[in-house]
Amino acid sequence: GQQLNQSPQSMFIQEGEDVSMNCTSSSIFNTWLWYKQDPGEGPVLLIALYKAGELTSNGRLTAQFGITRKDSFLNISASIPSDVGIYFCAGQETSGSRLTFGEGTQLTVNP
């Protein structure tokens, strides 16, 4: 099946810094999703992307659907301590096909 490579695996940053993470695929996707998981909880949907080149914001979070349709980026601006958690990307090749999840980026924000 398709592979999703998410990087970096972990990040340690200072409060106020900007963060960037990305996912790349071995095949073309028509949907990209970004989730955040807090400790002891389930993943929560942050942003959904459905069109190549699409740039979508949700507060301090911005995600982009890569123009090649094989990658996606998530940026967090001016990080705060509550941004701590694991961020997952997920992609879908075609409507109705199975979602593939990245392995996650563990974000630590030092006050």
Partner 1 sequence: DAGITQSPRHKVTETGTPVTLRCHQTENHRYMYWYRQDPGHGLRLIHYSYGVKDTDKGEVSDGYSVSRSKTEDFLLTLESATSSQTSVYFCAISVGVETPLHFGNGTRLTVT
Establish if 40 lies at the interface with partner 1 (CB under 8 A): yes
Contact pick of 87, 88, 107, 109 for partner 1 (by CB under 8 A): 88
> Helix or strand or coil: residue 81?
helix
DSSP character at residue 42: -
Min separation Cβ 68 and partner 1, Å: 20
Side chain identity, residue 92: Q
Distance CA 101, CA 80 (A): 25
Token reading at 45: 């949907």
Window of 20-28, 52-60, 64-72, 99-107 that interacts with partner 1 by CB under 8 A: 99-107
- Which residues bind to partner 1, rule: CB under 8 A? 1, 31, 33, 35, 40-45, 48, 88, 90, 92, 95-99, 101-104
